[in-house]
Chain A
Amino acid sequence: MRLLKQPTHTLSAALMIALTLTACAPVQPWERGNLAKPQMALDPYPLQSALRAHNYGSREAAAGGNAAQGGGCGCY
């Protein structure tokens, strides 16, 4: 909850939305079966994602958002 105090509007908004939604549509643990399927993982293929992120990062200006994941210079 400390997060809410941060001057980050985006985050605050996201949290507010999340909490609001929580109140109106409870998802009970036993109702989360579909959510637990592998295809529902936020990143179903993390190995490939890492490779793609490296390729994109070497060819595009926007950083991957994970500067401290290594990746080298990409100076080519």
Chain B
Amino acid sequence: MLHRGVVVAVIKSGRVGSKLPTVLGQGWANDKAVCPPYQLGSCSHTEHKDNNSVKPVGGVCLMDIKNGRVTQQAKPPSVGLVLTPNPTYAGLSCRVHSMQPMRCVKRTPLPTHGERGNNNNKIVIQRGVKDSQIVKTSLHALTAAALVLPGMLGQAAWATEGDEVDFQYGHYQEGSRNITAIDSNGNFLDQKNPNPIEVESLHGHTKVSLTDRIKFAFNYVQDTWGGATPIATGPAAMGYNSALQAPDGKILSGSSPHFDSSRGLVDKHYRVYTPMYSPDFSSVEYKPDNSLTHIIATASPETRKQGDFKLSYDWDDAAISAGGGISIEDDYESRFGNLGGRWDFNNKRTSVNLGLSYTNSQTNAILDHDALPYMQADNYFVNHTNKRVNVDDPKIISGNRQDWTVNAGVSHALSQETLLAADFGYTRSTGYMSNPYKITEAMFINPDDFQYSDYTSPNYMAGFLERRPEVRNQWNVGGRFVQYIEPLDAALHFDYKFSADDWGIYSHDFSADWVQPMGYGWTVTPRVRYYSQEVADFYHSYLVVGKAYQDVDFNDPNADLNANARNLPAHFSSDQRLSGFGALSGGVTVEKKFAKGLSIETGFEYFTHQGSLKIGGGGEGSYANYDSWVANAALKVDLDALSTHMMQAMGGMDHSVHGGHDTANMDHSGHDMAAMDHSAHAGHGGHHHGVHGPAGVMFDHMLANSGDMMVGYRYMYANQAGHMLHGANEVSDQAVVAGGCGPNPCFLTSGDMVMHMHMLDLMYAPTDWLTLMVMPMWMDMNMSMRRLDGAPPDEEANNNVGNNPLSSAHIPHHLQNGHETGGFGDLGMYALFKLFDDGMHHAHFTFGLSAPTADVDIQLNRRHQVDGGFIHYGMQLGSGTWDFKPSLTYTGKLDKFSWGAQLNGTVRMEDRNKSGYRLGDMFQATAWGSYNVLDWLSASVRGAYTLQGGLNGQFNGLVNQFGPMDYPQNHGGKFWDVGFGLNAMIHNGAFAGNHFSVEWVQPVEDNVNGYQLDREGTLNATWGIMF
């Protein structure tokens, strides 16, 4: 316990961070008695920020004061209460909700700057302690632990950190699987499937305090995936993937499902035998073979987008929350809502959570056309509400699913160094829970065949769309153990979760993390996880039916469509996710915390899935094994820390200036949206003048002072729709058919094209005349297509020069599905050099490079045994070349008026990208004027002229050319635009220091090269915070 009397704490300010000369622990200053030297714990709940109190910095303002010395800081350098130099903050009181009883009511003037020892590097705090106060405070103090505890299992929404903005990028890459393939000569081959699945994920997160007690959190998640994945499984003796091979033997394309039941034999026990031919094929011997193979199918890229929010209200010892969201992808839409509550008791040493959530999901899946010839979905259509459609039409599976989940958890500080948490959950799911793209193979064996022989070939191998039960009850129970390791200042985390359901699946999930702070803001966390699950009751690699297969004419309206399906079990699936297996993964996370509340987090994890890793053995065969890795990088911004820094540095900088990016800078040319040089335009804006460039102008400002940083986010939406243009004129479909596709007729054109871009602006000024900038970017696009009036019959597309001879089979799919692409774009790196600045006029030059980090070789999937070839030029994600991007920017300001102009260009520094073409160079000129309608709000008008060069070269592989967007000559042009924008610079309140801007860029006149789709306009929106 604490000592009566006066304690003198000598704090070396240097330990706390050179920029924070006045850190005073929690600083419960009181002129009679001072709060004891215990730890404040987390001050993450918002505090009053009147003239006499101070908002704590960061999420945690813990200080461990031992023997009167600050020995550690929980979240360097945002430790303790930071007293700004502003004398109005000299009185110190930290009112955290749950700490009200601890509040130090009377305020003692703090030492003056001199006393605080900026010069002598020491701070002296006098403390006095009263027993009564110790008791009182000890009973009621809100501790950091108590705040941390509520971050329970699955309840991260209770996270205790303060206001924050985070961005994360993740890349998931699966390894190739072993498959059995057959080449054109009929030889069976053991192959690795090409093009395994990969997923690009983007996650934006923000949490802000709306009031002291109300918090709002929002997440945006976007995943784009594509590649090959198993759709069915069968005996390797009878099933195989067709392998399209290049002359060098390399497999070129994805595979298609095939089963040839006549190839192998089965005995009366349904054991499978595979033929072993003599080298000259003169004799054959059958040997038992129980090996299996996946049938792999590829999918074109698809994108899922999810937005969700959570609103919470905190009391001193409790909190409630409500949240909801929506997740949308082409074939699946999900809406969800949740309620949560938290109660702290036992002096905040123990917390209890309760949660309730509901999800409603709708599947509308167009069945894989390539799989249709090999599977029977029609019985599904009869059994379900889906209507049976013509065999030649797309087949759509519709289904609804609902999930209710309740969970309850408790967390407890077991000792000064140990945390325990336990969690229980129950989920009830009803409705359509099958995967519409998974097929289960059924081997039909006619028992009569065994009358004459002990061996026979199966009568038929038929694929059926999988069917899972329509009810699932699932229980989870889990625990977490967190132990502080004092000598190493590290923490050991051990998690375990057991899950069981009435599908027969039960699983164990163990993981252990070692979180090791390394000093200087670095933390390294190695991690290992082991997962094992039991097989589902209805899982079968494939089904065996001891009855003859009956032929069914699916075009006959009176046919018994269930004739064969009736002989199957009620539920079946061969989705390996339901099989028995174990998974082992290991990885490491490295985090670096910078000053000013910025941190960067990167992680890597390797994952291996193996049947033999299952607890107790007996898992799925090795054919289903695969491995994968995932890498991620995140940028985290602690807004509380930023705002405090800004308070401290008041006057030191002027945040007012951010410029927008120039959409116009982007290559707007018709379908080249993907290739737009989003990257950079440089521009400094008049940071000194408070000039806000329009949202569409990139790089309109520099950072004013050495050491300044800025984090910003930019979003751009661009839409093309309407008429087709030829030069500056609208043209008829017939004219496009005749002239848009060079020597060939056109069949299709894009109906509309939408692009979304998400960009991060990361700026740093090493000196006042130079600002460095990195701009990572993600984009996703979708294009619908329509048939041109007057187009010739599809079959004629097979004769198009350069087309695959059977390519016309793709035309209906283009029309039905449209196309999507998405992922990481080109990475821009810029240096902005100040040329001139007299307070009214400012000019700077930007030297930029764009690295070809984006995919430019995205292909459409194979359909009807015909490769899709490269997707349109305009839907590739970048330029594929190293690009030079210079720009020259001028800005000015007088009273409420500001203005600016910028010239920028893009020069491709390579002759061709890896896919065989080069986007055209680009030049743009833009000028704007703006007026401050309010102190914090200005409106702008801008004009822009863009000259976008044509596309050089062409795809160096198959491209099925059906419309103008597939021909190089239909790219580039001259474009005139007018932009209307608003800029808001928040000077005070909860969002002080934040800058928001928005601009709509309206096309005025186009003069396109060749034939292109008209532009509708572009929306730009930006957010930024400088510190």
Interface residues of chain A, those whose CB is within 8 Å of chain B, are 3, 6, 8, 10-11, 14-15, 18-19, 21-22, 25, 27-52, 54-56, 59-73, 75-76
Contacts and interface: CB of A to CB of B under 8 A. Distances in A.
Given A15-B410, A33-B64, A42-B421, A73 B361 contact: yes
Chain B interface SS verdict (over half) = strand
A59 B413 CA distance: 34
B424 A69 contact: no
A67 B517 CA distance: 33
A26 to B, nearest CB: 8
A40 B481 CA distance: 10
A48 B628 CA distance: 16
A46 B168 CA distance: 11
Contacts of A3: 352, 354, 408, 410
B536 interface: yes
Chain A interface SS verdict (over half) = helix
A65 B148 contact: no
B348 A29 contact: yes
A46 B42 CA distance: 18
Contacts of B365: 75
A58 to B, nearest CB: 8
A72 B515 contact: no
A18 B149 CA distance: 13
Nearest to B423: A65
Given A11-B408, A18-B350, A43-B156, A35 B203 contact: no
Interface stretch (B271-279, B325-333, B720-728): B325-333
B523 A39 contact: yes
A25 B505 contact: no
Given A45-B525, A55-B172, A61-B578, A14 B422 contact: yes
26 contacts: A10-B422, A11-B410, A18-B410, A33-B62, A35-B484, A36-B147, A37-B72, A38-B74, A40-B145, A40-B148, A40-B419, A40-B484, A42-B411, A42-B480, A42-B482, A43-B159, A44-B513, A45-B603, A47-B166, A48-B168, A56-B531, A60-B583, A67-B405, A68-B359, A73-B329, A76-B197
A36 B408 contact: no
A30 B484 contact: no
A11 B577 CA distance: 30
Contacts of B148: 35-36, 40-42
A69 B308 contact: yes
B779 interface: no
A20 to B, nearest CB: 10
Interface string B507-523: 10100010111000001
A15 B411 CA distance: 9
A7 to B, nearest CB: 12
A48 B412 contact: no
B536 A61 contact: yes
B347 interface: yes
B41 A32 contact: yes
B861 interface: no
Contacts of B427: 63, 65, 67
A47 to B, nearest CB: 5
Nearest to B147: A36
Given A32-B143, A62-B505, A72-B329, A37 B605 contact: no
A32 B39 contact: yes
A44 B492 CA distance: 11
Given A59-B577, A67-B405, 5 more contacts: A32-B413, A34-B417, A39-B515, A40-B148, A47-B636
Given A27-B349, A48-B634, A62-B507, A68 B405 contact: yes
Interface residues of B, number: 139
A44 B326 CA distance: 26
Contacts of B486: 34
A27 to B, nearest CB: 5
Given A54-B201, A56-B531, A33 B60 contact: no
Contact of A63 (B363, B499, B583): B499
B429 A37 contact: no
Contacts of B419: 35, 40, 42
Contacts of B349: 22, 27
B151 A41 contact: yes
Given A35-B417, A67-B405, A68-B338, A75 B331 contact: yes
Nearest to B407: A65
Contact of A46 (B39, B156, B304, B337): B156
A6 B322 CA distance: 23
B197 A25 contact: no
A8 B424 contact: yes
Interface in B452-498: 474, 476-478, 480, 482, 484, 486, 489-491, 493, 497
A73 B448 CA distance: 43
Contact of B412 (A22, A30, A54): A22
B229 A76 contact: yes
A3 to B, nearest CB: 6
Contacts of B197: 76
A43 B847 CA distance: 42
A63 B497 CA distance: 11
B350 A38 contact: no
A30 B138 CA distance: 7
Contacts of B583: 59-60
Contact of A29 (B141, B172, B474, B603): B141
Contacts of B533: 60-62
B145 A35 contact: yes
Given A39-B517, A70-B306, A49 B156 contact: yes
Contact of B429 (A55, A61, A67): A67
B952 interface: no
Contacts of B347: 29
Contacts of B489: 37, 39
B138 A29 contact: yes
B713 interface: no
Contacts of A55: 172, 199, 607, 628, 630
Given A28-B138, A51-B203, A68-B336, A11 B329 contact: no
